[in-house]
Amino acid sequence: MNILDRIIADKKNEVALRKSLFPISYWEASPLFDRPLNRLSSRLRSSHSGIIAEHKRRSPSKQTINTKLSVSEVVQGYDKAGACGLSILTDHKYFGGSLEDLNLARATTTLPLLRKEFIVDEYQLIEAKAQGADLILLIAAVLSREEIQTLSTVAQKLDLEVLLEIHNQEELEKSIMPSLDLLGVNNRNLKTFEVSLETSRALATLIPDEFVKVSESGLSDIQSIKILQSIGYQGFLVGENFMKTTQPGSAAQEFISQLEK
């Protein structure tokens, strides 16, 4: 069993436990549940940088990245830096995140928030909405076409945008449907954790222009992003490059200012 398979197996057990502890009515009573959507897709279409800055404490490939700063400190820094939106890791076992991180981020900023999670159940979409998310992530590598269709349709009914993550042409072809808003190409192989920007380059022309194109992982230099912008990408999810510093917000600000020159 590879790392991705282990994560998904653990996630299904985790969701089953959370369902038994917190009924859907608990989440629907949240004051954030009826909060209007702040569209990340619109912000990315009009941005010169397209940066989606990520709060990320650790990962299976890098272990500890940054556990010294509070969510609020990181989010305030990213907001001040001019990020288009924020990605908040909510998986605890493998990434050190939590739903509480998402809620704290929502209390700190008005920017669009992505719940970065391994979504396997509609219940997680309701959690995301209740904790202030504006969009959710679906990963094509771990979902069937039918599951993607069901989850993305439910997300849209909840007034959440959908970012679908793909890694190759096969995943793209099985997943294209009207209920998606953004298509993200993950340059990191989730089974081996190797990173290659060639993944984004190879898939750029295959993604229909009706979707906002997002490149994820391994984005650490300005030139790489400018090349990806030239072939149609409008969003760039950057986490580790900022979080590995002592001041993620300052690192993001310098990065974004260089992109906007």
Token pair for 162: 């959908």
Mean pLDDT, all residues of the chain: 95
Q: What is the pLDDT of residue 193?
A: 73
Query: What value does the mean pLDDT take over residues 232-243?
Result: 94
Is residue 218 a contact partner of residue 188, using CB atoms and an 8 Å limit?
yes
Pair 248, 77: CB distance under 8 Å: yes
Active site residues: 54, 56, 116, 165, 186, 216-217
0.85 exceeded by pTM: yes
CA distance 56 to 257: 22
Q: pLDDT at residue 1 above 80?
A: no
pLDDT at position 59, please? 87
User: Poorest-confidence range of 32-36, 122-126, 150-154, 192-196?
Assistant: 192-196
Q: pLDDT-based confidence at 10, cuts 50/70/90? A: very high
CATH class label, 3-259? alpha beta
> What is the arithmetic mean of pLDDT over 64-72?
92
Element (H, E) at 84: none
> In this model, does residue 191 exceed pLDDT 80?
no
